[in-house]
Structure 1
Amino acid sequence: MALVNAGFVVLDALEPEKLAVFYTELLDGEQTDITLDQVEIRGADGTRLAFRRDLGATPPSWPRAENNQQVHLDFLVEDMDEAERRIVGLGGRPLETKDMPGPFAERVYADPAGHSFTLRPVPPTAADQG
């Protein structure tokens, strides 16, 4: 048995309840634990996230350097356009990404609290390649 098990990524926000709703809907998940200052969720695929109340939280300014991101999330999707419609419908917004490096057609968004996250296409499996 491992000495330490991975818990979950925790994002700070002024209103963790609202941010939890955004990610719960995005990940087809459920809220698993709610306290006065933190909400935890589990996505349909088992992804675990938490949102902690921080009255001093300020949104990251990525890609600008003055308040650069500390961390971001990557999500794998089958249909980028469908995922984008859902994100925008839930209150997220696309971020400018025309200079993004990398081999994938990635799209970057901000959640309603300003945290950035990336959508990447699900990589093809060996069976898909031939």
Structure 2
Amino acid sequence: MDLQTSCNIKLFSLLCLALHCFFWKTSLNVSVPQGQNVTLSCPLMPNSSKGVLSWYKQTPGQGPQLILSYNVTDTSEVRYGTGLDQSRYAILTREGLKLRHLLQIFTTLQNDTGTYYCGFSDKNLTKLNANA
């Protein structure tokens, strides 16, 4: 029997006044055979040329866990969540000529199953960390 890894993406609609965050809601169930790669697409299309895009994963009974955050203008500086194998995650910001925000998960594992969120803040990464 082939094990499947499910990535239930729920991007939600919420305005975070303190952080100027914007989220949209959509639901997409993605299943891939364990060990395969998967690419998740964030539908957010920030109008701002600066800010931070973040990806989170939530498993049942637990709070969201930060996967990664990056400045949309400088994707060379990616901040990863604590305890993650950084080599299993990557971001793509282009799909052909279109600007996209994609999360790639390499060699999926059973514990990759969960609900994935993406969000955008018009604060830069340095300011977010300084206020934490």
Same fold (TM over 0.5): no
Higher helix share: 1
TM-score (norm 2): 0.28
**TM-score w.r.t. length of structure 1:** 0.29
Where relative contact order (Cα < 8 A, 6+ residues apart) is larger, the structure is 2
